[in-house]
Amino acid sequence: MKKTSTRLADGRELIYYDSRDDVVRDAVDRRPLDAVATASEIRHDRLLGDHVAIASHRQARTYHPPADECPLCPSRDGRFSEIPAADYDVAVFENRFPSLAGDSGRCEVVCFTSDHDASFADLTDEQAALVLEAWTDRTAELSQLPGVEQVFCFENRGAEIGVTLGHPHGQIYAYPFVTPRTERMLTSLAAHRAATAGGNLFDEVVADELADGRRVVLEGEHWVAFVPHAAHWPYEVHLYPKRRVPDLLALDDAARTEFPQIYLEVLRRFDRIFGAEGERDGGQHGGGEHGPRAAGAARTPYIAAWHQAPLRAEYRGEFALHLELFTIRRTSGKLKFLAGSESGMNVFINDVPPEAAAQRLREVASE
């Protein structure tokens, strides 16, 4: 992997990640942009203990532009975008409309490919491995910023999720606090340790799923993907390395090599699960030579979220890196909306038994 760091016209950082060492990245951002002047404020909810980011400048962010005006496509034919180069493998840059900025953290955009009509599921193993390297490198760099407590790599896909740019991309948030969801995991981890004289809750969860087997979707030598026993979402898969590590930096070479094979297959099954009846999130997308999706398969809206250990958490080494993937679709043409119980009280009601979801995801495996 070759990494090249440069600056956009308004001073934001842009980093290219290339699979070839001989690539030269010297294109200049020629847009007449003013210097970035964004700020966000972190407020604390005294009743819930949560943090809320106030970022009013995001109201002006780009919203569903036509494909020929996509800001994440390469700069070509006289049209300038966020990526000055005429082509790229993976590109990462500071978000122009960040939720977190300055002393309140940092937000970055990760462009998985220059192909506007592709998706992560269409990538080759080599391309997906390069994205993993970019996630890892950004986690290492952002962890060194003053005040950062947790690094979160994630992807939102589909208009139903709220995505405003159709180009295949994800984001990275560097939080100045530990997120509430992670705090709850750490609390459960500590309680289990105390109750079992040092046992690890993450290890037990993975071991129980492997022993039960009914909810296991896919198992490799170094990774396992399963629908959790108490899944919140109709179709939800958690992906764990079998050797527990706290973050992306701690993955060994064997786990890095196998990850694209496991993750891409799970993503492709998500696209197959609803078949030709599923609603597309815009346009007719073919899998191409590198996208072995079933004919007629839908582009399933989903969120893919990496959970990494906070940087200064007690017993940090006991946390387990894992990826949580879920869709808001509950069946073909129908979405799972967060209504009164979920939104008002954070009590989820799942219409699909986890065992049934896992069985369906096994049935749509690649041949």
Residue 307 in marked binding region: no
CA–CA separation, 175 and 172 (whole Å):
10
Please say whether the beta carbons of 8 and 14 come within 8 A: yes
Residue 192 in marked binding region: no
Please say whether the beta carbons of 90 and 113 come within 8 A: yes
Catalytic residues: 169
Main-chain phi, psi angles of 354, to 5 degrees: -55, -35
- Dihedral (Cα; 122, 124, 126, 130), 10-degree rounding: 0
Residue 70 in marked binding region: yes
Read off the DSSP letter of residue 74. B
CB count in 10 Å sphere of residue 319: 22
211 CB contacts (<8 Å, ≥6 apart)?
none
Q: Could you tell me the two tokens for 214?
A: 């009914």
Report DSSP letters for 120-176, one per residue: GGGS-HHHHHHHHHHHHHHHHHHTTSTT--EEEEEEEESTTTT----SSEEEEEEES
Q: Could you tell me the two tokens for 219?
A: 């198992």
Please say whether the beta carbons of 127 and 113 come within 8 A: yes
Q: Which helix (H) or strand (E) holds 106?
A: strand 106-111
30 CB contacts (<8 Å, ≥6 apart)?
9, 80, 84
Residue 229 in marked binding region: no
Report DSSP letters for 216-269, one per residue: EEEE-SSEEEE--TT-SSSEEEEEEESS--SSGGG--HHHHHHHHHHHHHHHHH
Could you tell me which residues are annotated as the binding site?
70, 73, 116, 167
Could you tell me which residues are annotated as the binding site for Zn(2+)?
70, 73, 116, 167
